[in-house]
Amino acid sequence: MMSCARAALTTRASQICPTSRARNLVRAHDSAKRGMSRRPLLLGGVAGVTARLGSGFAANAVEAAPEKGSTAVGGDAPAAVMSPAVALVASLVPGQKLANGAFQVVSVERVPEYSVAVAELVHVKTGARWMHCGADDGNNVFNVAFRTTPTDDRGVAHILEHTALCGSEKYPIRDPFFNMLRRSLSTFMNAMTAADYTCYPFATMNTTDYFNLLGVYLDAAFFPKLSYEDFLQEGHRLEFASKEDSKTELTLKGVVFNEMKGAMGSQSARFSRALSAELFPTSTYHHNSGGDPVAIPDLTHDDLLKFHATHYHPSNARFYTYGDLPLEATLLKTEELALARFDKLDVSFLEVADEKRFTSKQQRVEVNVPTDAVVPDQNKQTTVSRAYLMVNQIKEPDAGLENFALVVASDLLLSGPQAYFHESLLESGLGSGFAPGTGYSSSRRETSFAVGLKGVAAEDVPTVERKIEETLHKIAKDGFPRERVDAVMHQVELSAARVSTNFGLGVAFGAMGTWVHGGDGLRPLRTPQNAAKLQLALDADPQFWQKLFKKRFVDNPHEVTVVGVPDAEYDAKLEAAEKAKVAAIASGLSEEKKKRIVTEAIDLVTSQDAPQDAAVLPTLKVAEAVPREIKKWNSDVSRTLVSGTIKKPVQIDAQPTNGVTYVNVVFDMSDLPDRLTPYLDLFADFVTELGTKQRNYKDLAQYEKLISGGIGAGVDTRQSLDGVGATEVFLSMSGSALDRNVSDTLDLMTEIATGANWLGESDRVGLLLSRRAASAGSGVASNGMQYAKAFATSTISPESELDYRTAGLPHVAMLQRLAREKKGGVAEVEKALSEIAAFTLTSDKVSRLRVACVPGDAVEIAVAGLEKFLGKLPAGGAAAGKETTVTDSLAAFKPNPSRAFISVPQQTNYCAAAYKTVDYQHADSAPLYLLGHALSSAYLHREVREKGGAYGGGASASPVEGIFAMSSYRDPNTTATIEAFEKAAVWASVAGNLTPEILEEAHLKAFKAIDAPLAPSGRGASLFTNMMDDASRQTFRDRLLDCTVEQMRVCATKYLVNQTPALAIVGAPANVDKMRKAGYLILNAEGIEIKEEVVA
């Protein structure tokens, strides 16, 4: 797990099938830059639970570019002409000197499967290692990483990561990092603390921007200020409730302190941490690199300085670059700005020791964990997991093959209803879902596998353990059927063929887990090779899987079993312990020490309020860096699909999708009876989960995996861009496949749309409801900001209210009820879903279709398949009659801005304020969008994060939805943050506060989002999903570029000041009394009002 110090402003590209909760301006604008995108990678991480292999073999797999021919797994790479960037790297030879002799080439390797060439170099003077991946991709990446090996839970690596970005030798102002976020067009900027390394990556498509950021990043990493004041702000500090009054209550504050309170505030986080600590009892992985809030206050500023001196040295550094920029220029600049000032340092003492392997089975370990916010069954709250330590990726000779084989095995064990542990554990009814941490993890130098259940009755723990052992022994005896392995390999091939945008970052993150320890830096690029090796190994040895499982599971003594025992008072006890600790400190304070705390607090605020000369930082100029013209995708909307008497419009987006075809069918749901609205998300999620008339759900999942990249559905709304027309509510059904499998995939889509088993799969529906209820209940705390914003916006917008009913707290409450009612709940859901299918899945309700693929035959094959699909759909569906429809409900909506506090077991808060504004085509929409960026950077960051201690805070405008929102994340405050939101609006309305410089920075932040790289499969999606044509997009872009400071100020006055915002806070139970007195409606995690107890 990585702990991210900074909120990256990378924006995901448009999806073919967006979900309603994910709608935003960037998707709506269907934006992209000039650069070529590349293919996604299969990286180390946690595989097998979170997604199908095709959508990312690992949890941290990312997507990225070249629009070249795909290579089947195990096949030869196609011959291709190398681009100049690739050819330049491929021409290097070992021993060659670069950058005036400062660097020496160690190795060079071409990777034709990904159309890249990789060179590894060493800095002669310091021994720093450098890997450059030359590619025909303008989204250039830089990353510098340091091996950081914590020996305790005080979070020194994490706090250093934060503090290093708070000013440096060349840029001594407060927080150059956040200043650069708004002075750059970066496609990615962040800093991250992993379990054993810390890295500082960025990506950009602008050459000037690249070298601007390079200078800032190098100075931050190697020459940071690390001032005491910054340590107090980012790490931890003692502060009186009233900063200048030592008679008020003493408190603990700090950005990382509060971040980790939030990060460790869930049952999932606490259990996963305990599992890791037990599996690694002696190595650095035993400790929480992010820091445990209990231990963070013990870290001193001197500890921080010493850690930087020993760890942030070139001799302990790994540099990585990627893209089409010449390597030599980056090497020269890095030598000039940083490396020339260092000599070699012996860093052998930082090497991570191998974990001492157990020689015998260990006793079961019990740990206390928080309860989930909402629990369907109070008698089933225990979590149990078995974990195994596996491959040493640095020292074992066959690590590459075995690691890949275990990733494949994890998918076969865990992914989909046909998976082995799905059958033995989930279908047993012993638990509500897989335990936190389930899956195969290869992100550390020694890999691991864990599997277990949550929502277990305490007395059933031994049964769960037995079923885990029986399942693993079964594989050790029988192995895996080859056809199941082939289905996984098909997903590997698909993943290698998919084109998207962040290939370079994927390599950066995938390499570090082993490279920082001296292992193979090209690990993330070895997937096709390892897949071919595995196929050969399976051909050569029919007992391959049996031997692997016997070695890594059955005969592996390094295993642990951890049982999480729920404690309803867990968070309250932590809070009480913290208060007691602070009270003990307060009782022992001398007057001199009290004065020092007061002085430090005043000095910190003075520093935070002091004007900063940001002019010392480099910046781009909007006039030079941002084109006025939109990027056009030339979608073809002239064609009509004809199937018999059925005629429907189809949009063709002929794009370089690298041999993968994407299809999308939209069904209008606007006249659906409104009583069925609460079940819409269940319908979309279950569409491929229940089997069909031809196949049971397990066979369906296996076949889907064998021929396609996945078939799915989502419910969304399309709002009128001019605010006049009615909102369309629709179901979007989508699929993707390699071009050779498109016909089969569309036949399968037809089979699902016309023959899904909405009735008759009661056991399956019951299992799905149980898992969904448990997942929703456990996710309320960790998704607090999303729930707070959703609650607030639902009271001022009919579309948001629809979203909230289908996926907000009412949905959480409904799921718990359905799970508790068991058979009655299943029957209710089956009836509702079958009704929705009858209303929706007909040819009459199809409103439009889309194909995205390479030009030529692929288009015609997809069109023919969609015409066949249309012809197989029933012609007419059910009618709502006199019932209230979804459209009726939207039209009848009356805004009533909320003022609510949702009490959820945790230690931090999530605050939201929302305002209804104007439609997309309104002249004020563009200034409001810029105002959101301006308020985030120029006001809320300082007030909510730096002063308030929240991990994050900002403002945003959603032009398509007509919503302006402010929010905070992992926030120690409640009403103080709401007051900061109100003051932000007033501040923006006062002439002179918003300046041309702030507007310029807001423009850069806006266009880095709007012009973010877009995968070929998403080009044209905004036209299809939102009816946003080129003229609309161009008008909005012109208004952004022509916006003035005065327009922003007027919009703040008009839409924010003296308006009644919708307010919602998801927060700690300790705040209930205070919030009730402040006039807030108090709700529990299911959205049910908590009445005040009346004492007789």
Tokens 């690990």 sit on residue: 523
From the number of C-beta atoms within 10 Å of its C-beta (0-12, 13-18, 19+), residue 464 rates as: buried
| φ and ψ at residue 736, rounded to 5 degrees | -145, 155
Among positive and negative, which fits the CA dihedral 689, 690, 694, 698? Answer: positive
Provide the edge-to-edge strand list for the sheet that holds 1081-1083.
952-958, 963-969, 910-916, 1062-1067, 899-903, 1081-1083
Tokens of 924: 């004020």
Nearby residues of 137 by Cβ (< 8 Å), 6 or more positions away: 35, 36, 37, 38, 64, 65, 66, 85, 322, 323, 324, 503, 504
- HSE-up (13 A, CA, CB side) for residue 1094: 2
Reduced to 3 states (helix: H, G, I; strand: E, B; else coil), residue 604 is helix
Comparing CA positions, the residue from 929, 935, 988, 943 lying closest to residue 966 is: 935
Reduced to 3 states (helix: H, G, I; strand: E, B; else coil), residue 896 is coil
CA-CA distances (angstroms) from residue 492 to 71, 410, 487, 707? Answer: 11, 14, 9, 12
CA-CA distances (angstroms) from residue 710 to 18, 51, 52, 411, 703? Answer: 15, 11, 8, 15, 10
CA-CA distances (angstroms) from residue 900 to 695, 747, 792, 1088, 1089? Answer: 47, 48, 8, 11, 10
Are 124 and 25 in contact, with CB atoms under 8 Å apart? no
Nearby residues of 150 by Cβ (< 8 Å), 6 or more positions away: 156, 157, 284, 287, 288, 289
Element (H, E) at 177: helix 176-181
Q: What does the alpha-carbon distance between residue 1021 and residue 14 come to, in Å, rounded to a whole number?
A: 7
Beta bridge partners of 914: 965, 1062
Reduced to 3 states (helix: H, G, I; strand: E, B; else coil), residue 144 is strand
Comparing CA positions, the residue from 718, 729, 720 lying closest to residue 676 is: 729
Q: What does the alpha-carbon distance between residue 834 and residue 830 come to, in Å, rounded to a whole number?
A: 6
- HSE-up (13 A, CA, CB side) for residue 251: 17
The Cα diameter of the chain in Å comes to: 89
Q: What does the alpha-carbon distance between residue 25 and residue 1056 come to, in Å, rounded to a whole number?
A: 20
Are 836 and 646 in contact, with CB atoms under 8 Å apart? no
Q: What does the alpha-carbon distance between residue 590 and residue 992 come to, in Å, rounded to a whole number?
A: 45
Q: What does the alpha-carbon distance between residue 596 and residue 576 come to, in Å, rounded to a whole number?
A: 26
Mind telling me the catalytic residues?
161
Per-residue HEC secondary structure of 624-653 comes to HHCCCCCCCCCCEEEEEEEECCEEEEEEEE
CA angle 341, 342, 348 (to 5 degrees): 170
Comparing CA positions, the residue from 318, 319, 312 lying closest to residue 342 is: 312
Tokens of 929: 């969008």
Are 388 and 518 in contact, with CB atoms under 8 Å apart? no
| φ and ψ at residue 395, rounded to 5 degrees | -110, -25
CA 973 to chain centre: 25
Tokens of 463: 């049964």
From the number of C-beta atoms within 10 Å of its C-beta (0-12, 13-18, 19+), residue 560 rates as: buried
